[in-house]
Amino acid sequence: MTTIKNKEQLISNGETRSDRKARALALESLEVALKAADPIQIIKSKLSLKNSTLRVNSYSFNLVKFKNIYVVGGGKATGAMAYALEQVVGKRITKGLVNVPHGTKSKTATIELHEASHPVPDESGVEGTRRMLEIAEQAEKDDLVICLISGGGSSLMPLPRNGISINDKKEITNALLKCGATINEFNTVRKHTSDFKGGWLAKKAYPATILNLILSDVVGDPVDSIASGPTVPDSTTFGDAVKVLEKYKLWDKTPASIQKVLCDGEKGLIPETPKAGDEAFKKVYNVIVGNNRLASLASCKHGKVKGLNTLLLTATLEGEARHVGTVLATIAREIVTSGNPVRKPACIVAGGEMTVTVTGKGKGGRNQEMALAAAMKIGGTDGVVIASLSTDGVDGPTDAAGAVMDGKTLAKASQLRLAPQRFLADNDSYNFFSKLGDLVLTGPTGTNVNDVSVIIVL
Amino acid sequence: MTTIKNKEQLISNGETRSDRKARALALESLEVALKAADPIQIIKSKLSLKNSTLRVNSYSFNLVKFKNIYVVGGGKATGAMAYALEQVVGKRITKGLVNVPHGTKSKTATIELHEASHPVPDESGVEGTRRMLEIAEQAEKDDLVICLISGGGSSLMPLPRNGISINDKKEITNALLKCGATINEFNTVRKHTSDFKGGWLAKKAYPATILNLILSDVVGDPVDSIASGPTVPDSTTFGDAVKVLEKYKLWDKTPASIQKVLCDGEKGLIPETPKAGDEAFKKVYNVIVGNNRLASLASCKHGKVKGLNTLLLTATLEGEARHVGTVLATIAREIVTSGNPVRKPACIVAGGEMTVTVTGKGKGGRNQEMALAAAMKIGGTDGVVIASLSTDGVDGPTDAAGAVMDGKTLAKASQLRLAPQRFLADNDSYNFFSKLGDLVLTGPTGTNVNDVSVIIVL
């Protein structure tokens, strides 16, 4: 289980007993969030097998009725998910293959862990995905296909359509990444240039039953977005995909093989992605087993157990990190001043995915920048802490997961002759917190449900 | 009492019954906030006179003990405050003069309303302030000086020190406004070039008792900042004022008369502003009678009366308006999705002062831009409304106080072929909401406790 490696150090950095207590509570809350986002923990706690009945959320499957159980999937956490699934379903699994990033350490018995490249797809990814499709096509009416999906699934499960090469796919991927297209626009193109995404996996596995277990890394858990929805009806068309490329003036630069597929699609020469109402989706169960909300709620619950008045502010937080920091700081100040939105001792949790618009040359991440901006608005208070981390353990291009600040951070920075506004202007939050010894360090966690921020006011 | 002039129109703009109901609740909440920020309402509800005892907050003054009651002050709301004060204290007032903006319509019996210029000070302002100082100096040990302060007080009560002309003062004011100095830096210079601000009024009125009634327009109500604290000890020095001018490279451009005052001050040739511990402050009572928190809490209370689950998120909200809008939208979404931070039907209020960094050429204001950004994050929901306004009735350089959005705003904009992201990129929120008919119109309200935003989820 991932822990905050320098937790004791971070706690002892608190100047007063109250600051240390608030730091301890904030960091413990974040550790609880990490635990709730742990793939093994999630699969083991969400899935249960009793008397041959597999239960997950409100669904139950009588495994006796299934002849074979196949496992497919892909994502950064699917190695661990596959390991845990074997712990639950055990020997009932007939056969399985999931694509995992190079260097995945999980050990499995039946399910093959096929290593592939992330975030830029490779031939090995294509090979693994092709074999998954073979497994899906092999599945019959009385078989169950369990699909494991987590963040990174889109890159780890590439299967370019009709003669598109992996290099062409890489080219358009890079162009779309740079042009400022939204994730939905990106996925519209992805789905129409893939034999796996946009519902095709479900179509190919039909008439088998599909149980899709999703560890969501997309704010709001849109199932058609996560890994580009291989088991979810697609609401977009070939025409939409062409429009996206035209909108960003990419059509002329689009590889000919991709232009051909999209034009053939528009002309009806090749089939559209499966749509809502397609009988292929009648026996598909898409289940979110882990997401930011579950992690954030676990943080809240820990606060409550510790006797704090808790609130989950949001689990779909978005916004520029520094302004989110300002807003969270004003909420912390309000608790101090007026006992709103909750009375002290308080614990407020906000989860989601912040953004940073980089204009400086410094080093930092979303969570560190949020904490820096918050620190600039909370000076001189006692027992007020804001701590924030990226649940994958890697906040921006740094070796820190996030940072922690309290009401003394400004004064300490001043003693060290550090000007917070300069670090913020240069997007240099890492070096600011590094000098204060207030970076939160976890190492890569093997999961991702985005960011969790905790406010503690004692 | 100020009302939202187009309330019925804004309510009927709601597409469904639930949207209309949510709009009505949001707009009523904002009207309640305006009422709670109304100067007449505030003075009448906060001050009471019974058996010759004047009570305000936790203080009480036996008026029988005072020989004279003098009234001084300045600010955009002080005409109305003076009117209401006469309603409470009546004929006990010996004499009074407050500086008010040109065109103030209040009628008073004893207290002279002296018109002056805002936001750029003028000679008339100087004359009125000089006469207030005469009144203060006339006050004896057994007299009470009631000082009325509201937003705009700094500009409306100019009294340049030792031979500084009003033109020199204007020059340095304009330079400081443009250079990006913080309000505290600005006030450091203001206090050291004034015979009235930075505690001087209290010093001159000593040994009279001073009751300072403050309608705060500064986030967090720092009494030494509001109108540059004429009755509050100053913690800054002549040296600090010089440093501010040097920091922004303004010293060489500073008028000679101001340079002389600051240099004389540094050499100890003229006295420093009165400091904490000065006996002049022993009989000074600074009372915040109105502020954003009172207005925001009134909004909340109205929500509660209407059966909603309410939260005051903060009354010291800061941050770039568009990102605040995103954050408030994610909270609204969370209520819809998970019933956090409160269950539906919900009313969440956030008060404070947002900022807009203008980069486009459009027309808009803080509250309108916040609502536009929020609309972009809430699509397709029913009964979800965010409404926001500037309590002075003038949001940015527009004739609107703010705007209202709901879950249908995006779809309506799409029907009208309006691209929200373009309006946002051009800081053109006014024209966006104007086309939708969703601008909130109140006209100037004669008060200012900054911004109030209300989220309603039914």
**Chain B residues touching A318 at Cβ < 8 A:** 326-327, 329-330, 377
pLDDT at B457: 98
pLDDT at B31: 98
User: Would you call the peptide bond into A341 cis, given omega within 30 degrees of 0 as the criterion?
Assistant: yes
pLDDT at B140: 96
Residue B9 confidence (pLDDT) above 90: yes
Tell me the nearest-neighbour CA distance from A178 into chain B, angstroms.
Answer: 19
Q: What is the mean pLDDT of residues A393-405?
A: 96
B331 touches chain A (CB under 8 A): yes
pLDDT band at B235; cut points 50, 70, 90: very high
Interface of A with B in 352-391 (CB under 8 A): 352, 377
How do residues A125-141 score in pLDDT, each as one tens digit? Answer: 999 999 999 999 999 99
Which amino acid makes up residue B143?
D
Architecture of domain B7-36+292-457: 3-Layer(aba) Sandwich (3.40)
pLDDT band at A182; cut points 50, 70, 90: confident
Q: For the CA atoms of B193, B195, B199, B203, what is the dihedral angle to 10 degrees?
A: 150
For residue A186, give the nearest of A203, A201, A174, A200 by alpha carbon: A174
Packing angle between helix B39-46 and helix B78-89, nearest 10 degrees?
30
Residue B252 CB neighbours (<10 A): 8
**Chain A residues touching B313 at Cβ < 8 A:** 331, 334, 340-341
Residue A390 confidence (pLDDT) above 80: yes
**Rounded to whole angstroms, how far apart are CA atoms A227 and A275?**
17
Mean pLDDT of chain A: 95
pLDDT at B287: 97
**Rounded to whole angstroms, how far apart are CA atoms B359 and B364?**
12
Mean pLDDT of chain B: 95
For residue B101, give the nearest of B83, B128, B134 by alpha carbon: B128
pLDDT at A118: 85
Block residue for tokens 């620190």: A375
The DSSP bridge partners found for residue A149 are A74, A214
* CATH numeric code, A39-159+194-236+273-290: 3.40.50.10180
Tell me the nearest-neighbour CA distance from B180 into chain A, angstroms.
Answer: 13
Q: What values do phi and psi take at B421, rounded to 5?
A: -65, -30
pLDDT at A179: 82
Q: Is the pTM of this model over 0.95?
A: no
pLDDT at A372: 98
How do residues A81-94 score in pLDDT, each as one tens digit? Answer: 999 999 999 889 99
pLDDT at B90: 84
Strands (DSSP E) found in A14-56: 47-50, 53-56
Under 8 Å between Cβ of A141 and A208: yes
Residue B196 CB neighbours (<10 A): 27
Interface contact flag, B313 A331, Cβ < 8 Å: yes
pLDDT at B422: 95
A167 touches chain B (CB under 8 A): no
Residue A180 confidence (pLDDT) above 80: no
As given in the structure block, the two tokens for residue B353 are 């002062």
Look up the ipTM and state it: 0.88
Q: By three-state DSSP, how is residue A192 classified?
A: helix
How do residues A229-277 score in pLDDT, each as one tens digit? Answer: 999 999 999 999 999 999 999 999 999 999 999 999 999 999 999 999 9
C-alpha distances in Å from residue B327, one per residue of A294, A390, B85, B407: 19, 18, 41, 16
How many percent of chain A have pLDDT more than 70? Answer: 100
A315 touches chain B (CB under 8 A): yes
Domain spans, chain A: 7-36+292-457, 39-159+194-236+273-290
pLDDT at B174: 86
How do residues B121-137 score in pLDDT, each as one tens digit? Answer: 899 999 999 999 999 99
**Rounded to whole angstroms, how far apart are CA atoms A225 and A235?**
11
Residue B180 confidence (pLDDT) above 80: no
How do residues B238-250 score in pLDDT, each as one tens digit? Answer: 999 999 999 999 9
For residue B457, give the nearest of B382, B391, B392, B405 by alpha carbon: B382
As to burial, measured by CB atoms within 10 angstroms (0-12 exposed, 13-18 middle, 19+ buried), residue B251 is middle
For residue B204, give the nearest of B137, B145, B128, B140 by alpha carbon: B137
As to burial, measured by CB atoms within 10 angstroms (0-12 exposed, 13-18 middle, 19+ buried), residue B178 is exposed
As given in the structure block, the two tokens for residue A346 are 């308080």
**Rounded to whole angstroms, how far apart are CA atoms A69 and A210?**
10
